[in-house]
Amino acid sequence: MAIYKQTGSSIWHYDFTIDGQRYRGSTKESRKTAALTIEADLRLRAREKGPNFIPRRRATTLRELAPRFLGWKGDAQLEDKTRTYYEYGWRLLQATPLATMQLSHISADAVDATVFHKIGRVHGGESALASPKYVNQAICTLKRMLSKAKEWHLLSEVPTIKPRKAYGRTGLITSSDEAKLLQHAAQPLHDILLIAMDTGMRPSEIFRMRWEDVLWEAKEIFIPKSKTDAGRRRVPMSNRMQSALLKRWDGKRHGWVFPTRSAEGHIKSVKTAFTSARRKAGLDPRLVLYSARHTFGTYSLAATKNLPAVMQTMGHANVRSTLPYQHHGFESIRDVIEARNSTS
C-alpha cells in the first residue's frame, strides 16, 4: 500500500515500509497527485535517514530542490558550458514565484504566466524583461530540475512545458542582409559569419575549429566534437570559405583557427561585434549569428530536396530536427491553380 483514503475522508494517507520500518501518516492533501509527491518525498527521506526519520509532511519547493540540483550539476559529467547554462537558468528562476511553489503545483499554465527579468538589469526603476532566449534557458533548466526531482522520487509526474518562441533562431538572412553584415563586420566576425552561412555549423563549432581539422585537399572541415553524437561530422568547404581560411593560415598544422588569450585558447563569442554590425547595417534586431545556420538549412533543403544530406551536414540526429528548415513555398500551389484556371 502506498497512499489510501480512510472511510469518509477526502484526505490521502501514506503507508509504506523501508528496511523493515513501517511509516504511516496523513499527507494532509486531498489531491492524489500532490499526495503521491509527498509520499515519494517521504520514502526518499526515510531511505536517507533511516528509522530516526521524522516525516516532514510539507512537499518540497523548487527553491528547496535547487541545492541538490546544483550539487548534482557539479558532480555530473557535464560540460562547463552546460553547467553555466543551468546556473544562470536557476538565477532567472529564483527571482520568480516559481521558486517558492511546491514541485507538484508547478504546471504549464504557471510557467506560461511567469514573467522573467534580466539579472541585474534595471531601467527607469524597473528591471528589464528577459529575451525569449533567456526565458527558454530558464524553462529548460526548470524542466531538467523537475525531471531530476522525479528521478529522486520527489515528484510523481513532470508537466509538459513548452518553450517560448525565440525569434532569433527562426529569422533568415537574405543575400542582401548578408552583404550588409559582411560589409560592417570586423574580423574575426567577418570570417565566422561567412563560415556559418556556407556550412551551417553551430557558432560554438566554428569557435573551436582547429587547423588539423581543416582538410584542404578534400575541401572539408572535420568537426570532432559537437552538441550531439551526430554532430561529429564533416562539412563542405566553399571556395570563398577556403580563400578566407588561406588568408588566416600561417602554415601550421595544429592550433586554433580563431585563437585568443583566454583560458580556453579560442574565441567564445562574437555577440557584441554582431550586434554592432547588425545595427550599422540597419537590419532586424531579431537576427542573431545562429540565424546563419537556420538560413543554411532552409536554403540547402529547398535547393537540394536531399533531406539525409542536409541532416548529415547540420549534425542532426533525427528528421524532426531538420524538418523545421523545410519551408514550403507557394509557387507549386500557384502553378497548379493557374493551370486549372487556364483550362476552365
For 207, half-sphere exposure in the C-beta direction (CA atoms, 13 angstrom radius) is 16
Question: What is the pLDDT, as a whole number, of residue 130?
Answer: 80
Model pLDDT for residues 152-175, shown as the tens digit of each residue: 888 888 888 888 765 444 578 999
- 86 with 32, same domain? no
At 222, which helix (H) or strand (E)? Answer: strand 220-223
Residues 182 and 269 in one domain: yes
CA 235 – CA 102 distance, rounded (Å): 47
- Is residue 68 a part of any domain in this protein? yes
Sign of CA pseudo-dihedral 191, 193, 197, 199: positive
139 located within any domain: yes
> Can you give the pLDDT at residue 25?
80
CA distance 296 to 175: 11
Length of the chain: 344
In a domain, 282, yes or no: yes
Q: How far apart are CA 211 and CA 253, in angstroms?
A: 6
The domain in which residue 194 lies consists of 169-325
Residues 16 and 30 in one domain: yes
Q: Is residue 266 part of a domain?
A: yes
What pLDDT does residue 324 have?
A: 62
Give the residue from 109, 132, 165 where a domain finishes.
165
Q: Could you tell me if 282 and 180 lie in one domain? A: yes
Q: Which of 162, 159, 213, 195 is nearest to 292 (CA)?
A: 195
Residues 247 and 296 reside in one and the same domain: yes
In terms of Cα–Cα distance, which of 166, 129, 188, 195 is closest to 287? 166
pLDDT of residue 125: 45
- Establish if 343 belongs to a structural domain: no
* Same-domain status, 77 and 47: no
- Examine the domain organization and report whether 185 and 104 are in the same domain: no
Q: Which domain-ending residue is among 138, 165, 192?
A: 165
Same domain, yes or no, for 280 and 196? yes
Residues lower than pLDDT 70 in the chain? 1, 50-59, 73-78, 120-127, 165-170, 227-228, 319-338, 340, 343-344
Q: What is the tally of structural domains in the chain? A: 3
Single-letter residue type at 56: R
Regarding whether 48 and 178 lie in a shared domain, the answer is: no
Q: Determine the straight-line distance between the first and last CA of the chain, rounded to whole angstroms.
A: 73
290 in the same domain as 161:
no
DSSP state of 282: T
CA distance 137 to 118: 12
- Whether 57 maps to a domain, the answer reads no
DSSP 3-state assignment of 143?
helix
Q: Cα 264–265–266 angle (5° rounding)?
A: 95
Query: Do 153 and 260 belong to one domain?
Result: no
Residue 253 lies in a domain: yes
Residue 303 lies in a domain: yes
Per 3-state DSSP, the chain is made up of helix, strand and coil in percentages (nearest 5) of: 55, 15, 35
What is the amino acid identity at position 281? A
* CB neighbour list of residue 132: distance below 8 Å, 6 or more residues apart: 164, 165, 166, 167, 168
